[in-house]
Structure 1
Amino acid sequence: MTDRLAQLTERLLAAATRAGADAADALAVEGRSVSVDVRAGKLEQAERAEGIEIGLRVLIGHRQACVSASDISDRTIGEMAERAVAMAREAPEDPFAGLADPDQIATVWDLARLDLFDHAPEPDPAALEDDARRAEAAALAVKGVTQCQSASASYTARHLHLAATNGFSGGYGRTGRAISAVAIAGEGLGMERDWAAESRVYQSDLPDPEEIGALAGQRAAARLGARKPPTGAFPVLFDERVAAGLIGHLLAAVNGSAVARGASWLRDALGQQVLPRGLSIFENPHRPRISGSRPFDAEGLPTEPRDIVRDGILMGWTLDLATARKLGMKSTASATRGTSSPPAPSVSNIALTQGDKTPELLMEEMGTGLLVTSMMGSAINPTTGDYSRGASGFWVENGRIAYPVNECTLAGNLREMLMRITPANDARPHVSHVVPSLLVEGLTVAGA
């Protein structure tokens, strides 16, 4: 399959050269997916998708254009190249657009070490349906659960190949297997909903469906009787399920696209303290069997582990070639792209330094406050870091859960919030963003 995709990218590059492009890169992606949903013990939906997509980016000087198609005939490829060149000639000039220099591109990588493709047989729809049914049955078996809104199982397999006129050519495959369940507890206006989901690169690493379904049911049942919390300034413990979102705001602020536009609340913070001392954010795109891993980026540069934050100090931005050139820096090999868009910077796998205390111990230490298990809505000012989000979870008194809460709002400023975090030790090792539960002191909680 990778040979076929490599040939496709070479055809695209040859067509671009014939059409008059000064430089070009091409991306070919082939994939298949199967998903099954069940509800009330019956099959609700089954879908299978297979297809191939091709994308071409051409450059005329510093003008660029991208086109894509799902037809791989010679006629379509020729028309794509001609259209892309015509579009590029009319595009505004971008002095920072361009391919990597030949001495920058990746030349060797170890796909076996990354282990991103499960060669086990593809599960048939009946096996996926069985997984979904088992997850639903486990959720419904939990006391207080009245229905299961949905239970799903899915499988995906995807191959891609990237090639460019600077000499780069490389590709790899990736698989994914997932099970999820959404449970509803209670009746009428007192109904509460929660969910559980797991995904893995390898099917054999996936937990049993019963474990996933039961967790969804337990979470929903625990929310019964929710009410608004008091209003005031309280410590807030972000559950591991939602804590990665808090760190995600920092990652968005150090993205080169935001920094280059001046639209980041951390735009002047390079080399400054942004987290408490002792905490680091480490990016490692080479973790085996992890969905965010990649041997090279979308511009053909070799990926490398790096510190985004080291001992609380912001060490660098997340950059592709264009944003690096604009900022006068070196790319961090963080480019991502689809078939119809140019590259843009994005992180792969990250891990925040874990603490030495359990979430339960942090909850005891905070005394009275809010345990957040679900977030909704978002009003984040990207230039100031002002933060306001809807939340639900559990009110804590004397270090113990007192009652479930909903319909509350959290407010603060991200720069100040992140300087007051205390991490727990409960981060899941198999996810792409390894972030434990986080205790944040002094947030404004708006409830009753």
Structure 2
Amino acid sequence: MSSEIDSSTLLSRASQLIDLARKAGADAADAVVVRSRSQSVSVRLGKVEGTESSESDDFSLRVFIGKRVASVSANPGFDLQALAERAVAMAKVSPEDPFACLADEASLAKSYPDLQLLDTTEVSSEMLREAGLAAEAAALAVKGVTNSSGAGASAGMGGLVLATSHGFEGSYMASRFGHSVSVIAGEGTGMERDYDFDSRLYYAELDDPAEIGRRARERVVKRINPRQVPTGKDVTVIFDPRVARGFVGHIAGAINGAAVARKSSFLRDRMGQQVLKSGLSISDDPLIVRGPSSRPFDGEGVSGERLVMIEDGVLKHWFLSTSTGRELGLQTNGRGVRGGTAVSPSSTNLALEPGDITPEELIRNVGNGFYVTELIGHGVNMITGEYSRGATGFWVENGELTFPVSEVTIASNLKEMFMRLTPANDIDRKFGVAAPTFAIEGMTLAGR
């Protein structure tokens, strides 16, 4: 295991690659290695369906000549000098990019904390197999659950090795373990599917596979014999945490500096203005110890800090990398992420901060409405904010969940939805995007 984690050899190769690029004519350069180790086992109906194991160290070199930039990638075993020379040759004939550059030396992390992201627990294929089988068996152990879509377990680690020509060298690794199961209830055209899962950095913190299976079977059995409901134009829709997290992802996309620079965000002209109800905030923190999306530095060597992106409903920050910040006339806030050979801004541990009432109180306060457990389709226009998604869930009458509902569409505009959102207090911060149950008033529901 220690040889898998030790990054000193990779750091040395990255530094050599930068030196060769400078000798070949680059003004500046950085080299990154994206590391990945994973194994997984999938089962269905008590039998192993597949096992997978993979590992990779993917090198990328980015070079700058004046305002020209080029990037190349390679797998281990490549010729360092040939790769450096190819990158420089590509940069010389590339069009100028006025915003591409390394992070300012003053913004580079001089030191960074141990965020306890790596669990070195050895998990065997047999342990993964047993976990998958246990989750599936628990999910099938009730009348009404008629079939399995499969279960699985996984273990792995990944990380980043980064060196730059202006003195930054750093690396980190993070582990990830997971259990999941998906099952079917009902027969024929009345079949319904649902699932449950858990994912953690530390193996010992994973939910028990049998508990995951139990939750999946409870979810799917409740969905049997769904109904349609009448169309309504002023419906309060309650988002279960599973779908609430995806909704908060839309907010993250709208305040991403890259989208703002491209003018493809409906919030691009709203900095310093009210975009959520007063009292609501969205935070982003890359430095949470054992956080699911924590990182000691970003893809450019910049250490980020906790930011309240939206504070008391007012938009305060964009997610910024160095180049995106320059394009907008701003400084990076340490949110640069390597994606292949490119760097783009992204969130880390993002959270819609919770409210003061329980989900049960929220539902009682709604009285009548629609509780969404699953969304279908991709009907979100991030330029205009128009929102239209297929949905399933449960009808709420007199403050209680009653019968299952399917084949409906919910619609509104994200700008209006943000201003009508009321959160509960049940946030679960084990996810990189965390959100509590919340209700949104005044949506259109298209039913029968």
TM-fit CA distance, 1:395 = 1.1
TM-fit CA distance, 1:431 = 1.8
- Return the alpha-carbon distance in structure 2 between the equivalents of residues 326 and 359 of structure 1: 42
TM-fit CA distance, 1:345 = 0.3
Q: TM-score, length-normalised on structure 1?
A: 0.96
- Per-residue CA deviation, residues 310-335 of structure 1 (Å, 9 max, x unaligned), is 11100011111111111111111100
| TM alignment of 1:308-323, pairs within 5 A | 308-323=309-324
TM-fit CA distance, 1:63 = 1.4
Which residue of 2 is the match for residue 296 of structure 1? 297
- Per-residue CA deviation, residues 175-231 of structure 1 (Å, 9 max, x unaligned), is 000000001101111100011010000001101000111111111111000122221
TM-fit CA distance, 1:380 = 1.6
Instruction: State percent identity of aligned pairs.
Output: 47
- Return the alpha-carbon distance in structure 2 between the equivalents of residues 183 and 247 of structure 1: 27
- Return the alpha-carbon distance in structure 2 between the equivalents of residues 229 and 68 of structure 1: 53
- Return the alpha-carbon distance in structure 1 between the equivalents of residues 190 and 259 of structure 2: 42
Which residue of 1 is the match for residue 99 of structure 2? 96
Which residue of 2 is the match for residue 33 of structure 1? 38
Contact 1:276 1:421 in 2 (8 A): yes
Which residue of 2 is the match for residue 394 of structure 1? 394
Which residue of 1 is the match for residue 90 of structure 2? 87
SS in 2 for 1:365: helix
- Per-residue CA deviation, residues 229-261 of structure 1 (Å, 9 max, x unaligned), is 221121000001111111211111110011011
* 1:141 pairs with 2:141: yes
Q: How many residues align?
A: 442
Which residue of 2 is the match for residue 2 of structure 1? 7
> For structure 1, which runs of at least 5 residues remain unmatched after alignment?
none
- Return the alpha-carbon distance in structure 2 between the equivalents of residues 131 and 422 of structure 1: 38
One-letter code aligned to 2:338: R
TM-fit CA distance, 1:53 = 1.1
* 1:108 pairs with 2:111: yes
Contact 1:243 1:437 in 2 (8 A): yes
Which residue of 1 is the match for residue 72 of structure 2? 67
SS in 2 for 1:132: helix
Which of 49, 58, 64 aligns to 1:53? It is: 58
Q: Which range is displaced more, 204-213 or 49-58?
A: 49-58
TM-fit CA distance, 1:32 = 1.5
TM-fit CA distance, 1:402 = 2.0
- Return the alpha-carbon distance in structure 1 between the equivalents of residues 160 and 10 of structure 2: 7
Which residue of 1 is the match for residue 224 of structure 2? 224
Which residue of 2 is the match for residue 240 of structure 1? 241
C-alpha change, 1:433 and 1:58, in structure 2 (3 Å) is same
TM-fit CA distance, 1:296 = 0.7
| TM alignment of 1:373-412, pairs within 5 A | 373-412=373-412
SS in 2 for 1:213: helix
> For structure 2, which runs of at least 5 residues remain unmatched after alignment?
1-5
Contact 2:292 2:430 in 1 (8 A): no
One-letter code aligned to 2:244: A
SS in 1 for 2:106: coil
- Per-residue CA deviation, residues 250-273 of structure 1 (Å, 9 max, x unaligned), is 111110011011111001110001
TM-fit CA distance, 1:418 = 0.6
- Return the alpha-carbon distance in structure 1 between the equivalents of residues 245 and 437 of structure 2: 8
SS in 1 for 2:151: strand
Contact 1:58 1:84 in 2 (8 A): yes
SS in 2 for 1:7: helix
- Return the alpha-carbon distance in structure 1 between the equivalents of residues 13 and 291 of structure 2: 28
Contact 1:32 1:158 in 2 (8 A): yes
TM-fit CA distance, 1:429 = 2.6
Contact 2:144 2:185 in 1 (8 A): yes
TM-fit CA distance, 1:159 = 3.5
Contact 1:8 1:28 in 2 (8 A): no
TM-fit CA distance, 1:299 = 0.8
- Per-residue CA deviation, residues 394-423 of structure 1 (Å, 9 max, x unaligned), is 111122222111111111010111100000
- Per-residue CA deviation, residues 126-170 of structure 1 (Å, 9 max, x unaligned), is 000000000000000133111111100000122421011011110
Which residue of 2 is the match for residue 170 of structure 1? 170
Contact 2:411 2:443 in 1 (8 A): yes
Which residue of 2 is the match for residue 180 of structure 1? 180
- Return the alpha-carbon distance in structure 2 between the equivalents of residues 364 and 411 of structure 1: 23
Contact 2:248 2:433 in 1 (8 A): no
TM-fit CA distance, 1:19 = 2.2
